[in-house]
C-alpha cells in the first residue's frame, strides 16, 4: 500500500475537537507536506493516518519512540521487529546477524551516523536521536512514510541531507513540517491544517511562501 483514501478522520481530546472530520486522498508517488501552526492538528492527523493504514507505513513520531537503554543498532533494527520470529529478535539482541549489521551500518553511513553504531541512544544529542528514528523508519522498507517534524532538531545542511534521504527511500510520504521553505523544496503537494480542518490543498509548484504563511 502506497497511496490511500481515508474518510471520517476525526479526533477529540477532553471533549474538544482537535481534527476533522475530514477526508484525505494521497496518490502513490505523492510527497505531501502538512503545514500549519503548532496545535493546528498536524500531529494528530499523522497518528490517525498511521492507525488507519494498518502497519503499511514507516512512522517517525515527534517523540521519536526510541529505547534509551539500547544502542543505536538495536533501535534501528526495531523497524523490522514485527517481520521476524521471536527467536530471531532475541538472538539479534544478544548477537546480531552480519546481514542486519551491514544493512543498518549502510543506513547510518548515509545519515552521517556510522560512528554511533554501538553508542547507547541515551547519550546522543537531539539531532542524532532524530536521525536514529529516521534510520529506523527507512530500515522498515515500507513504501509509505509518515513523519512528524522529522528534521526539527537538525541544522540546515543536515536537514537537507535527511530530507533527500527520505524522498529517495520512500515512494509516497506525508510529512508534517514547520519549515515552509523545506516543505516547498521537498513536497509535491502542500496541505495546510488550520483549526483541525484542511484550509489549503495545492501542488507545491503553484505556491509561494507567502501563500502558506497565511496559515500561521
71-81 pLDDT per residue, tens:
999 999 999 99
Question: CA-CA distance, 106 to 212, in Å (whole number)?
Answer: 37
Question: CA-CA distance, 89 to 78, in Å (whole number)?
Answer: 9
The mean of the pLDDT values for the chain is: 94
Confidence of residue 143 (pLDDT cuts 50, 70, 90): confident
Buried b (16+ CB within 10 A) or exposed e, 49-65: bbeebeeebbbbbbebe
Query: What is the separation, in whole angstroms, between the first and last Cα of the chain?
Result: 33
Q: Architecture of domain 1-56+142-216 in CATH?
A: 3-Layer(aba) Sandwich (3.40)
Question: CA-CA distance, 158 to 165, in Å (whole number)?
Answer: 11
> Is the pLDDT score of 1 beyond 80?
no
Q: What percent of the chain has pLDDT over 90?
A: 89
> Is the pLDDT score of 38 beyond 70?
yes
Q: What percent of the chain has pLDDT over 70?
A: 100
Q: What is the pLDDT of residue 183?
A: 96
Q: What is the pLDDT of residue 16?
A: 86
Taking residues 59-74, what's their average pLDDT?
96
Give domain limits for the chain: 1-56+142-216, 68-141
Write the pLDDT tens digit of every residue in 98-133. 999 999 999 999 999 999 999 999 999 999 999 999
Helix pair angle (98-110, 126-139), 10° resolution: 130
Alpha helices in the chain (DSSP H): 42-52, 72-77, 86-94, 98-110, 126-139, 156-169, 180-186, 209-213
Write the pLDDT tens digit of every residue in 183-193. 999 999 999 99
> Which residues have a Cβ under 8 Å from the Cβ of 115 and sit 6 or more positions away?
none
Could you identify the residue written with the cell 521476524?
A: 84
Q: What is the pLDDT of residue 14?
A: 86
> Is the pLDDT score of 205 beyond 80?
yes
Confidence of residue 54 (pLDDT cuts 50, 70, 90): confident
34 membership: H or E segment, kind and range? strand 31-35
Amino acid at each position: 500500500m502506497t497511496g490511500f483514501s481515508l474518510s471520517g478522520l476525526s479526533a477529540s481530546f477532553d471533549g474538544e475537537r482537535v481534527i476533522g472530520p475530514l477526508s484525505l486522498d494521497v496518490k502513490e508517488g505523492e510527497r505531501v507536506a502538512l503545514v500549519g501552526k503548532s496545535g493546528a492538528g498536524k500531529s494528530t492527523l499523522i497518528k490517525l493516518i498511521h492507525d488507519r493504514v494498518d502497519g503499511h507505513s514507516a512512522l517517525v513520531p515527534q517523540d521519536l519512540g526510541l529505547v534509551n537503554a539500547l544502542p543505536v543498532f538495536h533501535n534501528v533494527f526495531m523497524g523490522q521487529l514485527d517481520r521476524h520470529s521471536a527467536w530471531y529478535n532475541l538472538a539479534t539482541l544478544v548477537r546480531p546477524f552480519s546481514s542486519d549489521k551491514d544493512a543498518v551500518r549502510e543506513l547510518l553511513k548515509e545519515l552521517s551516523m556510522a560512528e554511533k553504531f554501538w553508542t547507547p541512544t541515551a547519550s546522543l544529542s537531539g539531532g542524532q536521536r532524530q536521525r536514529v528514528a529516521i534510520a529506523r523508519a527507512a530500515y522498515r522498507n515500507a513504501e509509505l512514510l509518515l513523519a512528524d517534524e522529522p528534521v526539527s532538531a537538525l541544522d540546515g545542511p543536515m536537514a537537507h541531507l535527511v530530507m533527500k534521504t527520505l524522498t529517495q527511500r520512500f515512494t509516497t510520504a506525508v510529512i508534517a513540517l514547520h519549515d515552509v521553505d523545506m516543505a516547498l523544496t521537498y513536497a509535491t503537494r502542500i496541505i495546510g491544517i488550520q483549526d483541525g480542518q484542511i484550509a489549503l490543498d495545492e501542488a507545491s509548484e503553484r505556491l509561494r511562501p507567502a501563500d502558506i504563511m497565511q496559515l500561521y
